[in-house]
């Protein structure tokens, strides 16, 4: 009996390793993204190095810092002589390789700005590879690969290069790679590893598990040809593949639960509510997550505008949010009809948006809505599949406008003092 995974691999549409010119093009595009991102950003929040400090503690055999953290790290939780980070275990493990290099004196300081640029380049590479799910021109694939980084709020927010922003970058990269190794070049264990990277940095991404399971349980789903009604039948046949995909995420989940229990006495306690004074802040008066937070988050994410000033660039964003559609008009393309994975994408985004909207704080100091970075892989799939084969004038215009808007915002936030509380 043939291995169903082998059949999946044989049916993969495009593999960069089998097409050297395309592989070299994708690497060149990623290198361009790395250089453009690195030299256009400043790493303004590099001092907010929560995850790196906890990773250093791990290397010393501790789960938390044994010394008092500096005053600019207010989100450290003091408990029984230790200071713990509220970042999940996956976010700490993600920066561990760089911390080890720092420990070995390969580098003197943690390269947050370089890491952020590397994440941006990795995202562009995998988004270009992921675009092989549709028969579209190379020019359109390249434009769409650049869109999640340079035509959205990701450029500015990831460019801050603090622990918060880098965790979102890992989540964006992990999802893009997981979708590639699910829909284009099926590798269940590899896809699971990348998905673990994503959910390890942003826990709410666990909500995307059912969609990934559906993709793996239904072979035809990967080519867009089957509905949800046949999921149970296919799952019985393909559970070994689904199990391979889930193996690493489940292992990380169990380790995270043990990590939380060892610190705070509960596998589900990440410590956020334990941050000194946080529940006294007005936006958390109903708790860290609450339905009361939805109206304010909707306003910040979708409706808030910009402020006008009497000199160039004449408009500046507010420092705590503005509409994602103002920061990226390219997103209006989401509402075109069609799309190979439209149902799965909209369901995933709806679940994630609901959780994000319930969070008491819409993101603090940021450009537009930084939490929305985790939605971009699903937005990418929608826009990729609901548009034409070749790049169109409408898409080009919206893309260039979005890049220009985000370039100005990145300059204002990271290189000037124009944006003030």
215-262 pLDDT, tens digit each:
998 754 444 444 444 555 566 677 889 999 999 999 999 999 999 999
Q: What percent of the chain has pLDDT over 70?
A: 91
CA–CA gap between residue 204 and residue 90 (Å, rounded): 13
Confidence of residue 11 (pLDDT cuts 50, 70, 90): very low
Give phi and psi for 360, each to the nearest 5: -60, -35
Residue 383 Cα to chain centre, angstroms: 17
Contact (Cβ atoms closer than 8 angstroms) between residue 347 and residue 286 = no
Contact (Cβ atoms closer than 8 angstroms) between residue 178 and residue 195 = yes
Task: Give me the pLDDT at residue 17, please.
Answer: 45
| Residue-by-residue DSSP string for 334-355 | GGSS--TTHHHHHHHHHHHHHH
Length in residues, the chain: 421
Secondary structure (3-state) at 304: coil
pTM for the predicted model, two decimal places: 0.92
CA–CA gap between residue 166 and residue 157 (Å, rounded): 9
Where do the DSSP E strands lie in 251-314?
Answer: 306-308
Q: What is the pLDDT of residues 284-342, one digit of tens each?
A: 999 999 999 999 999 999 999 988 888 877 888 999 999 999 999 999 999 999 888 99
CA–CA gap between residue 49 and residue 110 (Å, rounded): 9
Q: What is the pLDDT of residues 202-217, one digit of tens each?
A: 999 999 999 999 999 8
Q: What angle do CA 147, 151, 152 make, to 5 degrees?
A: 105
Cβ neighbours of 298 (radius 10 Å): 14
- Evaluate if residue 390 carries a pLDDT over 90: yes
Instruction: Give every CB contact of residue 29 below 8 A, 6+ residues apart in sequence.
Output: 124, 125, 128, 142, 145, 146
Which CA distances in Å does 34 have to 31, 110, 111, 401? Answer: 5, 18, 14, 21
Contact (Cβ atoms closer than 8 angstroms) between residue 309 and residue 339 = no
Mean pLDDT of 112-117: 98
Give phi and psi for 383, each to the nearest 5: -65, -35
Q: What is the pLDDT of residues 132-158, one digit of tens each?
A: 999 999 999 999 999 999 999 999 999
Contact (Cβ atoms closer than 8 angstroms) between residue 213 and residue 182 = no
Taking only Cα atoms into account, the Rg of the chain, rounded to an integer number of angstroms, comes to: 21
Task: Give me the pLDDT at residue 231, please.
Answer: 53
Task: Give me the pLDDT at residue 14, please.
Answer: 43
Describe the chain by its helix, strand, coil percentages, rounded to 5: 65, 5, 30
Element (DSSP H or E) covering residue 9? helix 4-10
């Amino acid at each position: 009996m043939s291995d169903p995974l082998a059949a999946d691999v044989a049916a993969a549409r495009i593999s960069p390793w089998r097409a050297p010119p395309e592989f070299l093009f994708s690497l060149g595009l990623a290198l361009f993204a790395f250089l453009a991102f690195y030299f256009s950003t400043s790493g303004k929040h590099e001092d907010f190095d929560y995850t790196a400090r906890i990773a250093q503690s791990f290397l010393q055999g501790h789960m938390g810092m044994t010394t008092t953290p500096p005053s600019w790290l207010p989100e450290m939780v003091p408990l029984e002589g230790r200071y713990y980070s509220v970042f999940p275990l996956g976010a700490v493990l993600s920066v561990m390789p760089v911390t080890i290099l720092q420990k070995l004196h390969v580098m003197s300081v943690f390269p947050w700005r370089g890491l952020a640029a590397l994440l941006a380049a990795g995202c562009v590479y995998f988004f270009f590879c992921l675009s092989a799910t549709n028969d579209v021109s190379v020019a359109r694939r390249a434009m769409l690969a650049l869109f999640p980084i340079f035509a959205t709020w990701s450029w500015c927010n990831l460019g801050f290069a603090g622990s918060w922003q880098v965790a979102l970058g890992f989540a964006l990269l992990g999802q893009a790679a997981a979708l590639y190794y699910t829909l284009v070049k099926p590798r269940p264990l590899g896809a699971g590893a990348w998905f673990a990277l994503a959910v390890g940095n942003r826990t709410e991404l666990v909500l995307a598990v059912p969609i990934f399971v559906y993709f793996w349980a239904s072979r035809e789903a990967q080519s867009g040809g089957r509905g949800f009604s046949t999921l149970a039948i296919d799952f019985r046949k393909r559970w070994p593949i689904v199990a391979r995909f889930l193996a690493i995420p489940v292992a990380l989940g169990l380790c995270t639960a043990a990590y939380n229990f060892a610190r705070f006495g509960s596998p589900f306690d990440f410590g956020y509510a334990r941050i000194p004074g946080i529940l006294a802040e007005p936006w958390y008066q109903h708790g860290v997550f609450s339905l009361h937070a939805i109206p304010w988050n909707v306003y910040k994410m979708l409706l808030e505008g910009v402020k006008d000033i009497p000199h160039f660039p004449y408009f500046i964003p507010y420092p705590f949010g503005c509409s994602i559609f103002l920061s990226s008009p390219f997103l209006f393309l989401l509402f075109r009809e069609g799309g190979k994975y439209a149902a799965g994408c909209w369901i995933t985004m709806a679940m994630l948006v609901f959780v994000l909207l319930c969070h008491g704080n819409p993101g603090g100091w940021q450009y537009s809505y930084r939490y929305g970075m985790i939605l971009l892989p699903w937005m990418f799939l929608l826009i990729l599949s609901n548009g034409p084969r070749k790049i169109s004038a409408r898409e080009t215009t919206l893309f260039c406008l979005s890049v220009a808007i985000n370039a100005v915002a990145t300059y204002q936030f990271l290189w000037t003092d124009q944006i003030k509380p």
